[in-house]
Structure 1
Amino acid sequence: MSILPTVAERRRQVLVGPLPDDFLRLIKPSSSSSEPMDPSAAAHVATPSQPAVYSFVPPNTRGRISVTILEANLAKNYGLVRMDPYCRLRVGHASFETPTKLSGGRTPFWNRIVHAYLPVGVDSIFVQIFDEKAFSADECIAHSHILLPPGIFNGETIDEFYPLTGAQGEGKEGLVHLIISFAPLEAPIAHPAYQGGPTYPDGSPAHQPTADAPAAVTGPAFTDDDVKAVKEMFPDIDEEVIRAILEEKRGNQDATVSALLEITN
């Protein structure tokens, strides 16, 4: 006699009946929670569109620039069958890319917003438009070196088309549509130093302050190999910026990588 269960026995073990309404569904948390919400959390929920506050600002930073890469009107379609364009934006040593617009052709539309820290002394950005290839290297079909409009440093938002350069000639490859704005860094609040102290009547011995022992000078908590390892993960970030973040994070590479991801995103 076979010990394997027959088809009829297997069917008798199957649960037959109506399924519950929440079968294979995630249970939504109840919105009527009796616990009071933290005021800061409530303010964050009330204003979801507020910009994120980054915990680290690179040294020699002038402010935060926002560039909306809306669209491009290209002079020619360089694809054999179709053209899949994407745009690369470089601000200082950091670079950002839009998603690829499949079959975008001569009029790709991206509508990608890029937030980046603007280093001191940088007064321009560099834009490149590539055609993504499936079996070969992506081809740069247009580029433009754009001087930042002076009006953005006075609080203005500039909405403008900028000419592109490529195989058709300088400024003849089409136009790219950008919206640029700038926000300066907020100056840190200087707290006045406490200068008060106990007073003594004339003739009474006052406490003589003793000189504190000098603090031991310690070297950095990371090595050049640590800097090199982080640099390999972020080749577009300047090495001095990586060193500054490693010093702030006391050599913690995981925290350093998280801070760099905040900068580049």
Structure 2
Amino acid sequence: METEKRSDLYEEWKRRAFLGPLPQGFLGVEERNAQQQQEAADQQAALALHQLQMQNMPGMHEPHVVGRLSITIVQAKLVKNYGMTRMDPYVRMRVGHSIYETHTCSNGAKNPHWNKVIHCYLPPGVTQIYVEIYDECSFVMDELIAWGHIDIPPQVLQKGETHEDWCMLSGKQGDNQEGMINLVFSYTVKTKCHPYMNAPSVMRVPSSTVFGVSQYAPVNVYTTPPAAAAIPVVPSSLPTAEIELKQISEMFPNVDKEVIKSVYDANHGKKDITINSLLQMCE
């Protein structure tokens, strides 16, 4: 009798397991559809990122490039230190559709120094760059301190001269009232036999707006240089550069040594051309 009950119970379980109605989504069709949509979105994002990297790869769009622009971000003099501690400023610069950053000047406060040289291809029609200075923060979003649209000096583009200037910055204090940034420009006409590597580009993702100016959270997108391209050596780091820089500094005692070093690097360590460039700047 007990065996019959167990047999009947087993048959009931069997009917429920194999013959009963299947629950909704048993085959996971909806889940797979959602997963397929997510995979398609990821593929589109990857494709867009790949296209951005290809646009920033040197030599990929030869007909749309005019020449190479070198910008040395030397230092800044700001009117106010925001916050309770000394600011840690860094510069974000846009040239055409490419964006570059300096390192952070720790405790730079109102007088940060970077001495950062940026090499980039200059697209046709671009005669202006956009500069932003941020205070790097640890637990909150980096604060935008100052900004400005800066014209590339005409003599740099037309004659290939090296030009150093202090450019006014806007900010919370008002238009052209937040301080100044020291930049050195030089320009070289592009040649196909001497390709140059671009500095790492940065995608900017809008996050919030302060004082009518959009802030951006940086997402670094580093372009991969060609295997055959060598990493350029900074001329001022060479052993013989120290002696030449000292000699040039003695010739121009009223010119800041960092500016001389920047001009020296922009002219690829050529002493005579550096002296001529400094003479033009002092006129």
TM-score, with structure 1 as normaliser: 0.51
Return the match for 1:176 from 156, 161, 181. 181
Contact map agreement 1:73 1:108 (CA 8 A) in 2: yes
* Other structure's SS at 1:70 match: strand
Matched, 1:128 2:132: yes
* Other structure's SS at 2:126 match: coil
Relative to structure 1, is the Cα distance of residues 260 and 131 closer, same or farther in structure 2, using a 3 angstrom cutoff?
farther
Aligned residue runs from structure 1 range 51-200, under 5 A: 56=60, 58-153=62-157, 154-186=159-191
Matched, 1:258 2:224: yes
* Other structure's SS at 2:224 match: helix
Question: What amino acid maps onto 2:98 in structure 1?
Answer: A
Contact map agreement 2:67 2:121 (CA 8 A) in 1: yes
Shift, 1:150, TM fit: 0.4
Question: What amino acid maps onto 1:138 in structure 2?
Answer: D
Shift, 1:235, TM fit: 3.9
Relative to structure 1, is the Cα distance of residues 259 and 178 closer, same or farther in structure 2, using a 3 angstrom cutoff?
same
* Residue identity (%): 41
Relative to structure 1, is the Cα distance of residues 120 and 158 closer, same or farther in structure 2, using a 3 angstrom cutoff?
same
Aligned pairs, number: 147
User: Residue by residue, what CA displacement relative to the aligned partner does 1:213-258 show, whole Å, maximum 9, x if unpaired?
Assistant: xxxxxxxxxxxxxxxxxxxx9747xxxxxxxxxxxxxxxxxxx952
Q: Output the CA distance in 2 between the equivalents of 1:119 and 1:139.
A: 30
Relative to structure 1, is the Cα distance of residues 259 and 97 closer, same or farther in structure 2, using a 3 angstrom cutoff?
same
Contact map agreement 1:56 1:259 (CA 8 A) in 2: no
Contact map agreement 1:87 1:129 (CA 8 A) in 2: yes
**Structure 2 segments unaligned to the other structure (5+ residues):** 1-57, 194-200, 205-221, 233-283
**Structure 1 segments unaligned to the other structure (5+ residues):** 1-53, 189-232, 237-255
Shift, 1:185, TM fit: 1.3
Contact map agreement 1:144 1:164 (CA 8 A) in 2: yes
| Structure with the higher helix share, 1 or 2 | 2
Shift, 1:187, TM fit: 6.6
TM-score, with structure 2 as normaliser: 0.48
RMSD between aligned residues: 2.6
Relative to structure 1, is the Cα distance of residues 257 and 72 closer, same or farther in structure 2, using a 3 angstrom cutoff?
closer
* Between 54-63 and 149-158, the greater mean CA deviation after superposition: 54-63
Shift, 1:59, TM fit: 3.8
